[in-house]
């Protein structure tokens, strides 16, 4: 090793004697470590780069801001376009350019400036009672405001990120005035005040408290692997409504490199691996989501739910409409 001549001899000797540090990449994740462990294990086996995962159920952006340039995080893994957009707006990410990722991630599932990249998608669909809702009875998202559903719908809070994204998509298709009326109609059709998570709505269908609910597709897989919730899952089917003139609403899980990434080269390798068809299939199977890389296939269980046509509204457009969606939701006192 050649040491610059201006370094003190003691420092030079220390550098020569110091052991070579193992390569690593540090991840802040909204996804539980056990869900991404198959991915990190495969990446380490392939590259020799260790992956350290810190699971954060909330406060990721605040933590990155507080850490600033001293943050150990190289990469963030998160779900929902709103959270990805918030990270970009907070200035805690940096743009990444990669031909590999451009080939693996369709343009509609990545930030035009390279700040975040999609990995998998999930559809926000309708869970319907097998006993009380006929096949084909659920058609469009707009139809959920029809009085025929009076007292038959359950949902989590209208201000939750998942429902705000759906409302933003309604604004994108029809404008604010229509969406305000749609929210009022949907609220009038609720069987109870919005409460709980998506699984709680499916339990309510099983218990006979409502007939349909809004929910993300992957919860079906989660419930089927949970003995206490399998009975709930078997009481419903997945129906894929569409927007009038559009497709089924989808959202995205994604990855971004932090602004202060201490291991940018390793982080880029990890991101490129995550977008590969091989890794997306692993990730999608672990989370019961849909891979987006060309040629990547969903898990057999996910495929059994049926095919659908994703809506083509740009996800960044939805992110830009989330403030309007929240405002309208609060105007109609949806959760009241």
Bridge partners of residue 214, in order along the sequence = 126
Instruction: Tell me how many degrees the CA angle 106-315-126 measures, rounded to the nearest 5.
Output: 105
Cα 304 to its chain centre, rounded Å, is: 21
Query: Residue 127: what pLDDT?
Result: 98
Give percent of the chain with pLDDT exceeding 90. 83
> 321 and 172, same structural domain?
yes
> 177 and 325, same structural domain?
yes
Residue 281 falls inside a structural domain: yes
Asked if 168 contacts 313 with a C-beta cutoff of 8 angstroms, the reply is no
- Strand pairing class (75-79; 50-55): unpaired
Nearest of 245, 219, 242, 244 to residue 232 by alpha carbon: 219
Residue 12 falls inside a structural domain: no
Residue 4 falls inside a structural domain: no
> 144 and 224, same structural domain?
yes
Residue 163 falls inside a structural domain: yes
**Spatial distance between the Cα atoms of 296 and 164, rounded to a whole number of angstroms:** 29
- Total residues belonging to the chain: 336
Cα 307 to its chain centre, rounded Å, is: 19
> 236 and 90, same structural domain?
no
Mean pLDDT of 66-95: 94
**Spatial distance between the Cα atoms of 86 and 312, rounded to a whole number of angstroms:** 22
Considering the chain, what is the average pLDDT of its residues?
91
Cα 160 to its chain centre, rounded Å, is: 13
Using the predicted structure, report yes or no on whether residue 203 has a pLDDT greater than 90: yes
Residue 175 falls inside a structural domain: yes
Cα 272 to its chain centre, rounded Å, is: 18
Give percent of the chain with pLDDT exceeding 70. 93
Helices (H), 28-110: 33-47, 60-67, 81-89, 99-104
The CATH number that applies at residue 175 is: 3.40.190.10
> 166 and 146, same structural domain?
yes
Residue 25 falls inside a structural domain: yes
What pTM, to 2 d.p., does this model score? 0.85
Mean pLDDT of 78-100: 94
Using the predicted structure, report yes or no on whether residue 3 has a pLDDT greater than 70: no
Query: Residue 8: what pLDDT?
Result: 33
Query: Residue 17: what pLDDT?
Result: 33
Reported confidence tier of residue 223, pLDDT bands at 50, 70, 90 = very high
Number of folded domains that form the chain: 2
> 234 and 171, same structural domain?
yes
**Spatial distance between the Cα atoms of 266 and 128, rounded to a whole number of angstroms:** 45
> 327 and 216, same structural domain?
yes
> 279 and 239, same structural domain?
no
> 84 and 26, same structural domain?
yes
Which structure tokens are listed for 46? 């392939």
Cα 198 to its chain centre, rounded Å, is: 14
Bridge partners of residue 118, in order along the sequence = 254
> 114 and 66, same structural domain?
yes
pLDDT in tens, 5-54: 333 333 223 323 333 345 999 999 988 878 789 899 999 999 999 999 99
Residue 205, SS3 per DSSP:
helix
Reported confidence tier of residue 246, pLDDT bands at 50, 70, 90 = very high
Structural domain span for residue 151: 122-249+310-331
Residue 13 falls inside a structural domain: no
Which structure tokens are listed for 93? 């990410």
Residue 73 falls inside a structural domain: yes
């Amino acid at each position: 090793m050649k040491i610059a001549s201006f370094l003190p001899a003691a420092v030079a000797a220390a550098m020569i004697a110091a052991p070579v540090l193992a390569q690593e990449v540090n991840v802040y994740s909204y996804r539980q470590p056990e869900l991404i462990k198959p991915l990190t294990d495969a990446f380490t086996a392939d590259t020799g780069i260790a992956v350290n995962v810190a699971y954060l159920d909330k406060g990721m952006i605040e933590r990155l801001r507080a850490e600033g340039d001293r943050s150990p995080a190289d990469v963030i893994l998160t779900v929902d376009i709103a959270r990805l957009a918030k990270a970009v707006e907070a200035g805690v990410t940096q743009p990444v350019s990669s031909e590999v990722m451009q080939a693996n991630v369709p343009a509609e599932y990545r930030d035009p400036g390279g700040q975040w990249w999609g990995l998998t998608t999930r559809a926000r669909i309708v869970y319907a009672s097998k006993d009380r809702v006929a096949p084909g009875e659920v058609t469009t998202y707009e139809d959920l405001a029809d009085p025929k559903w009076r007292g038959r719908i359950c949902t989590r809070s209208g201000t939750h990120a998942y429902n705000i994204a759906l409302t933003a998509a309604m604004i994108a298709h029809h404008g604010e005035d229509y969406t305000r009326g749609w929210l009022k109609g949907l609220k009038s059709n609720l069987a109870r005040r919005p409460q709980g998570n998506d699984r709680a709505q499916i339990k309510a269908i099983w218990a006979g408290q409502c007939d349909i609910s809004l929910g993300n597709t992957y919860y079906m897989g989660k419930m089927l692997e949970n003995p206490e919730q399998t009975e709930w899952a078997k009481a419903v089917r997945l129906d894929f409504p569409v927007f009038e003139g559009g497709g089924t609403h989808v959202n995205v899980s994604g990855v971004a490199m932090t602004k202060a990434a201490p291991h940018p080269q390793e982080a880029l390798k990890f991101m490129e691996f995550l977008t590969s068809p091989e890794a997306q299939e692993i990730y999608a199977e672990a989370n019961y989501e849909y891979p987006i890389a060309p040629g990547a296939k969903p898990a057999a269980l996910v495929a059994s739910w049926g095919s659908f046509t994703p809506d083509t509204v740009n996800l960044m457009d939805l992110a830009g409409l989330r403030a309007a969606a929240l405002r309208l939701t609060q105007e109609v006192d949806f959760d009241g």
